[in-house]
Amino acid sequence: MRNIVLFLCFLGAVLCQTRTPWVYIRGPSTFTPNPYTADQQHGDPQEFTAAVVPDVTDSTIWNPCGSSDSFCTSGTSIGVQSVSRLPGCWSLLDFTYFLSIVTVPVGVDVNTFTIDFTLMDDGSRITIYNSQNTYPDNGVVVPGSYVALSNSATVNLASYVITGVNYVVITQVDDCAVGNNINAIVSLNGQAVPPVCNPPDACHTAAVNANNMCIISEVADGTSCDDGNLCTQLDVCVGGTCTGSDPVQCGGGKPGRTCGTGAYGSVCNPATGKCSKKRALELRKK
């Protein structure tokens, strides 16, 4: 998961509230048996007893929502309008989990925090994790955050958000094979948070397009960068990757050994950029 930050600043104030774009995980295609079928209400809160929120701290398991994703099309508003994967109604549940990391700096008071839905099918709830309510056992499932089919907004979630980092999870359930739709806008202190995104490294640029999506692009080949290896002296971007060349040459080894990796030679230490006999011996032992 790329940690691209969205900013909301107020009237020239220094302090900003931030959040990351939506990322998501779809549940397994084997689906989950519905523990609650008595009154057959779409998105009933009791359906969510079968939901298990994935690890919010493991960025490698979440998929970014954006224009290149056919299921979750917007890091700003989720934007799911999909055909249901279910074979029928009520007996099985298909869960999808959406995550945005909301950071509140010291000195900023959050007095209103809502998630407003223009599409909801079939229901959702909000769970918040932070330093007080840690993953996985102590996350707060917010009372009043359940939003069922055709409804539009959560209650005010502000009292569950702390100064610092907050992992905000929408758990969405599809319980009937008709459609699978959700669109969500995060509002902090009454204003929607628009995306302003940062590039992941020196070999990329970031810009917001007309659809409020963060577009990451490669810079031109030959743009200078830093590959983190002090033994390379000419680092440039090639195909979006920082690539080093013109390596530091260390001598003193046996003839034909690159950079003197023989028993009496020395090699360049990438952490220091200096030639080292000790480093040569360490490599020899391996």
- DSSP per residue over 45-57, as a string? GGGGGG-----TT
Residues paired with residue 126 on neighbouring β-strands, in sequence order = 170
- Min mean pLDDT across 8-17, 28-37, 161-170 is at 8-17
d(CA 217, CA 206): 6
pTM check: above 0.85 = no
Q: How confident is the model at residue 248 (pLDDT cuts 50, 70, 90)?
A: confident
User: Residue 264: pLDDT above 60?
Assistant: no
What average pLDDT does the segment 182-210 reach?
74
Determine the pLDDT at residue 241.
92
Task: Decide: helix, strand or coil at residue 148.
Answer: strand
- Min mean pLDDT across 89-98, 150-159, 182-191, 213-222 is at 182-191
Q: Which H/E stretch holds residue 141?
A: strand 140-141
Residues paired with residue 208 on neighbouring β-strands, in sequence order = 214
User: Residue 191: pLDDT above 80?
Assistant: no
Terminal C-alpha separation, the chain: 34
Tell me how many helices (H) and strands (E) the chain has.
Answer: 1, 20
Question: Whole-number mean pLDDT of the chain?
Answer: 80
pLDDT single digits (tens) 24-39: 999 988 899 998 876 6
